[in-house]
């Protein structure tokens, strides 16, 4: 959205300086701090959720918006607001204040740690649209698309490492954190001896060892289900119980990104276009994907393979997916640490069972670093969306 397009929106609202933000009337009072992997996601039961609902948003003139946001976690000190630190919530609140001219409070579904990325974290915010010409007059709420474009305009004028990807209006008792039904995290690992590419820096965990995919997949089966995950719970975790149900845990190998096709891959694509039956025969197993990490290899004078000048050897890229209603603090990163040790041959299936049954973080290997963790999706049972012109 251009400055000229945004000007009428901004001129309708009061502009205030970025002062100390007042306590929001819809902030839940004295909620217990409950940690989750990368942030405080844990739902602590229906009674707590009901008490939160009753205290939220008593002002009927406020419109509650649900926002899905993506961000690169590298330059944030986490999602939750902290004094004297650049945080996801802090940057969002500043962008909203520039848009509507008054302070707001943003609440995230998942309070990710410093360095953790998000493909889709979800927040809610209450906005009162007040006329600048008649300060006492409250105008109809902005349409969600207007909110998305306007807030992104101010976000992109900043560092450009955070963006609103979706917006919708929700009832005033809808809480982004406590209404979440399920959360999905992804973790990226790059395997291989070559130094990590500049394009992948702080986007994945670089592991020099060659990882055994099948061994890691077998270890996942041990950890799926309802368990006491005390061995996968950081010491600072404040959850009331270590019991969690892990609905999904798997590892797959994918093409490393950014991906640019090699000569052989381009030739193969051209062959398929000319004759699709060459590679799409009835006996082809499409579930088996080949990831060639030796592109650019030439045969030297002594008959041995050598790397062609100027071409980087690709890493193998693995993605761990963890899905559950809620997680313990650092649970996903501790799970990935165990899977990596299994893939590298340092642990076996009996070792994984022993670690799980030990119910002590002292039994687990070091957790994976934050840079490879991505909050992928937060699932809700959303109310029907109103028809909007």
Q: Which of 26, 94, 112 is nearest to 64 (CA)?
A: 26
> Measured between alpha carbons, how far is 209 from 1 in angstroms, rounded to an integer?
47
DSSP classification of residue 99: H
Residue 278, helix vs strand vs coil: helix
Residue 258: CB atoms within 10 Å: 8
CA distances from 359 to 158, 241, 354 (A): 45, 12, 9
Taking a C-beta distance cutoff of 8 angstroms, is the pair 5, 210 a contact? no
**What distance in Å separates the CA atoms of residue 316 and residue 216, rounded to the nearest whole number?**
14
Count of CB atoms situated within 10 Å of the CB of 260: 8
* Active-site position among 37, 113, 161, 172: 113
CA 244/CA 187 separation, integer angstroms: 19
CA-to-CA distance for 349 and 355, rounded, in angstroms?
10
Active site residue 19: no
| Enzyme catalytic residues | 113
């Amino acid at each position: 959205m251009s400055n000229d397009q945004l000007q009428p929106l901004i001129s309708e609202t009061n502009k205030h300086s970025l002062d100390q933000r007042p306590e929001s009337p819809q902030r839940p009072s004295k909620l217990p701090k409950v940690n989750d992997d990368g942030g405080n996601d844990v739902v602590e039961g229906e009674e707590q959720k009901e008490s939160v609902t009753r205290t939220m948003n008593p002002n009927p003139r406020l419109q509650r918006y649900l926002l899905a946001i993506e961000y690169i976690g590298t330059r944030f000190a986490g999602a939750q607001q902290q004094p004297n630190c650049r945080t996801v919530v802090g940057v969002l609140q500043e962008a909203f204040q520039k848009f509507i001219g008054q302070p707001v409070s943003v609440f995230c579904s998942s309070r990710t740690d410093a360095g953790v990325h998000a493909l889709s974290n979800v927040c809610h915010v209450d906005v009162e649209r007040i006329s600048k010409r008649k300060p006492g007059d409250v105008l109809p709420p902005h349409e969600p698309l207007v909110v998305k474009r306007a807030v992104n305009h101010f976000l992109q004028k900043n560092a450009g490492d955070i963006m609103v990807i979706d917006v919708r209006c929700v009832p005033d008792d809808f809480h982004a954190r406590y209404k979440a039904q399920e959360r999905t995290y992804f973790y990226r690992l790059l395997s291989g001896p070559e130094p990590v590419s500049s394009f992948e820096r702080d986007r994945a965990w670089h592991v020099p060892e060659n990882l055994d995919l099948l061994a890691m997949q077998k270890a996942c089966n041990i950890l799926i289900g309802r368990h006491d995950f005390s061995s996968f719970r950081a010491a600072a975790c404040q959850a009331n119980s270590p019991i969690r149900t892990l609905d999904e845990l798997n590892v797959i190998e994918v093409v490393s990104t950014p991906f640019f096709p090699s000569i052989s891959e381009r030739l193969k694509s051209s062959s398929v276009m000319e004759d699709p039956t060459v590679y799409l025969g009835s006996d082809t197993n499409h579930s088996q994907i080949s990831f060639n990490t030796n592109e650019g290899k030439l045969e030297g004078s002594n008959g041995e393979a050598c790397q062609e000048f100027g071409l980087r050897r690709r890493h193998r890229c693995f993605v761990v997916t963890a899905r559950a209603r809620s997680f313990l603090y650092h649970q996903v990163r501790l799970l990935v640490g165990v899977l990596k040790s299994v893939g590298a041959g340092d642990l076996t299936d009996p070792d994984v069972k022993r670690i799980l049954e030990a119910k002590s973080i002292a039994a687990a290997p070091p957790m994976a670093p934050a840079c490879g963790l991505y909050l992928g999706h937060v699932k809700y049972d959303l109310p029907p969306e109103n028809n909007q012109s």
